Structure 1
Amino acid sequence: MPKITFLPNPDLCPEGVTVEAESGESILEVALRNDIEIDHACEMSCACSTCHCVVRKGFDSLEPSDEQEDDMLDKAWGVEPQSRLSCQARVADEDLVIDVPRYTLNHAKEH
């Protein structure tokens, strides 16, 4: 069973955490199941960039992003070559290390 390590994030998981994932789950689904509340303003429909993450390890194990995801990533804050939308990136069989940027462009967030 693959594992996902979420690097420390002062707002989401200050100490960082490693959790188990099922192949085929999105990174966001794994995070939410483990109480890591990554913003996701569009309810995982690939219509915003609020769930942007950077895959620090295991990026090549993920299926490539499609054109719609790439278009949304163009709107994200702090995009890097290994950036993905966590709602679209599905876990394969390799462990991942994920960095969730501290800032997001979430115009719908109310708190």
Structure 2
Amino acid sequence: MPIIKILPHPEYCPQGAEVTAPSGTSICEALLDNDIPIEHACDQVCACTTCHVIVRAGQRSLSEMEEGEEDMLDRAWGLEPDSRLSCQAILANQDVTIEIPKYSINHAKEKH
């Protein structure tokens, strides 16, 4: 099973983390299954950008980006060339390293 290395994020995993997930799982599902509460306001249907991540290593190991994800990413805060929506980035067999941006455009974030 591939390992997802999550770089430190002040709210979701201050020390960083490493989780494993079966191939065919989205990064978002893997994080949620391992108690890393990444935002996912649209319930993982590629209708928002709150689950935006930046893939720092292992980009080739993820599913190809489809047009809908590409269009939606244009709205993400802190967009970078290796940005993905974690609900659309499906794991293959190799490890990946991701960074969760410090901010999102979710104006209705719970607990705030």
TM-score normalized by the length of structure 2: 0.96
- Note the C-alpha offset of 1:68: 0.5
Aligned to 2:55: 55
Q: Cα offset for 1:61?
A: 1.4
The residue number in structure 2 matching 1:14 is: 14
Aligned residues: 111
How many Å apart are 1:64 and its aligned residue?
1.5
Classify the secondary structure of the residue corresponding to 2:70: helix
**CA RMSD, aligned part only?**
0.8
Measure how far apart 1:108 and its partner are.
2.8
Q: Could you give the per-residue CA deviations for residues 54-100 of structure 1, whole angstroms, max 9, x where no partner exists?
A: 01010011122111001110000001111000000000000000100
Residue equivalent to 2:95: 95
Identity, in percent, stands at 58
Q: What code does the residue aligned with 2:81 have? A: P
Structure 2 gaps of 5+ residues are: none
Q: Which residue of 2 aligns with 1:37?
A: 37
In structure 2, give the amino acid aligned to 1:70: E
- Aligned counterparts of 2:78 and 2:60: Cα–Cα separation in 1: 20
TM-score (norm 1): 0.97
The amino acid of 2:96's aligned partner reads L
Q: In the alignment, what sits opposite 2:67?
A: 67
